[in-house]
Structure 1
Amino acid sequence: MNKFHLIISSILVFTALNGNAQNKKTDSLTVMLDSYFNNETKKDQAGNLVSWHYKWEEHTNGGFSLWGDEFRKSGFRTSTLYAAPTAQNLKGSSVYIIVDPDTEQESSDPEFIQAAHVKTISEWVKKGGILILMGNDIGNAELEHFNTLTKVFGVQFNMDCKGKVTGDQFEMGKINVPAGNPVFKTAKQLFIKEFSSLAITAPAKSILKDRDGNDVIALSKYGKGSVIIVGDPWLYNEYVDGKKLPAEYDNLKAGTDLVHWISNQISAAKK
């Protein structure tokens, strides 16, 4: 091979590699985490005001760093939306997650879900978006406005507190996953505590109940998209890192199952 052919070959290889990298980047799926309705703040060590609580980059107990890792392992790009959800802001995202909207006690200027947000989000789901909505027990999340969104999909937070757990008596928050669950294929035993129970009507259906019969997680098909609604932000680091809970609890597996279910919904929608 002469020098000219060697140069041409090098260019072709570089172009191919660069093209593959670009295609991989273009083809990546985006999971967008809300930080507009849930935007609690605190000062960091340098005295700067930072947003915290249920964030991808947050490695402490209340963060979603471990669940975010599961998304990234499955080919998703994790991002955060600090602005209100608009059609433009949601464009390009396959998944949108809203967790634990702020109360007036948690923020000096909380952003509540309004009719315009409900319209935008529901239309985005109808076109094929995957929406994950996670509440909390009464007093720890703003549920009244949140319910204006969830009711579109047949679910309401009951604004109560179920699954109370005393100290380290983890069995009080134990929930067994029935065989054949449509979302949780490998997780068999979960720990979910102090959640708001759900009231469910069509088109939604319950996919997980606690031992007292309270609905904990609901699934709703809406247009081409799907919605999962949970009574608690239960996939945060404290209960998936394997340090606090006994080994028999499968919370991290459940988070991975949910990621795989999302991937399957997206793949099915493209066929």
Structure 2
Amino acid sequence: MTTVLRTRAELAATLGPLPGRLAVVMTMGALHPGHETLLRAARERADVVLATIFVNPLQFGPNEDFDRYPRTLEADLAICRAAGVDAVFAPSREELYPGGEPIVRVTGGDLGEELEGASRPGFFTGVLTVVLKLLNLVRPDVAIFGEKDYQQLTLVRRMVRDLELDVEIAGVPTVREPDGLALSSRNRYLSTEERASALRLSAALRAGAAAAGAGRGADGALAAAHRAFGEGTTGAKLDYLVLTDPELGPAPVTGPARMLVAAWVGGTRLIDNVPVELAPVSVPVATPPGG
């Protein structure tokens, strides 16, 4: 039985008497199997699982898709029930922001203005503000986030550290279609032709990761990824393709790293990323004279 909560009072009354470890999965609805994986991961980590469903207006720019963002509450609730979610908090805009949009907000500093933040000014301010607000309302022991939104996950972890929040932030690997496309609520906007073009994001990441593991270095990994994406061809327009360290700083010479990509496919903007292991750069051994 999954209880649907609409107000702060209902949330407090429901969570207050519940014993044990509490996990939260924050979503904007339009749930798909990737979200279901997060919900099942929460079920494994806690005694009580709460999902939130709220299309947050603070993280949409003036020319973005807030009005057309899919709202599928009944289907979302069915997925939550199947995943064993105990309660769903689905507040209205007025319930979560009773005084109107908040004056005081959380920013992501310099990191919040890079990559997604550079392409979508103010996006991470909206994300971090609503995440902090929901953490304070729910008071979970652990919050589960998907690695597909890797910059978001990194910034939420930094916010929790910097503001001394008493919550564990757990990341779950990206869930993909059999052909490699990362699951996203925005995939439903893609036509058949656009979906085929969208595969260039994951193809670029696979090529970059393979080159990194083969000892071709950061530059070689990026070059391989760009070739696989196929810049200059039709169907997808690259926004960024970068290699960083796991905290989104400069890429290391060797060791763990992260490759991230964003591109427009038709009128839909998609993002993806993969972990990368940079092997020591392999240098061909010169043949000695007369050898």
Q: TM-score, normalised by structure 2?
A: 0.25
Higher relative contact order (CA 8 A, sep 6+): 1
